[in-house]
């Protein structure tokens, strides 16, 4: 069974710090990787997608992928209280997403 693992947290960081969110996956055939942000009571919102090894930066967000280690991470620089949410890692191995359980991030002013 395809699995995506995340630390449930909560991960607490002070405002302005870097938040590091990690995710591992079991299916070596996975090709596409996504990070979604979900605020309480809301649906997930796509933040980043990454398809090849290395880093991909978009504003304050950087996604990192290491297929050999089956590991994908999300870095949030200059964390803001508005970044407080649950971050879901999702892995696509053939037109279907498998979600991790999510990591709850708390950014304290």
Partner 1 sequence: GAVVSQHPSWVICKSGTSVKIECRSLDFQATTMFWYRQFPKQSLMLMATSNEGSKATYEQGVEKDKFLINHASLTLSTLTVTSAHPEDSSFYICSADSGSDTQYFGPGTRLTVL
The binding site for partner 1 (CB under 8 A) comprises: 31-32, 34, 36, 41-46, 49, 88, 90, 92, 95-97, 99-102
Kind of pairing, strands 71-76 and 19-25?
antiparallel
Q: What is the DSSP letter of 28?
A: T
CB closer to partner 1, 27 vs 92: 92
**DSSP helix/strand/coil, 81:** helix
> What is the distance between the alpha carbons of residues 83 and 19, in angstroms, rounded to a whole number?
10
Do the beta carbons of residue 52 and residue 65 sit within 8 Å? Answer: yes
Q: How far is the CB of 36 from partner 1 (least distance, A)?
A: 8
CB closer to partner 1, 40 vs 82: 40
Q: How far is the CB of 98 from partner 1 (least distance, A)?
A: 8
CB closer to partner 1, 29 vs 41: 41
């Amino acid at each position: 069974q395809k699995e995506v693992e995340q630390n449930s947290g909560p991960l607490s960081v002070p405002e302005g710090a870097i938040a590091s969110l990690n995710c591992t996956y079991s299916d070596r055939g996975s090709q596409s990787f996504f990070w979604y942000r979900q605020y309480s009571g809301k649906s997930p919102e796509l933040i980043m997608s990454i398809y090849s090894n290395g880093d991909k930066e978009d504003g304050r967000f950087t996604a990192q992928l290491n297929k050999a280690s089956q590991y994908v991470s999300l870095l949030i620089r200059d964390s803001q209280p508005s970044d407080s949410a649950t971050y879901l890692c999702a892995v696509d191995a053939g037109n279907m997403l498998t979600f991790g359980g999510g990591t709850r991030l708390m950014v304290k002013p």
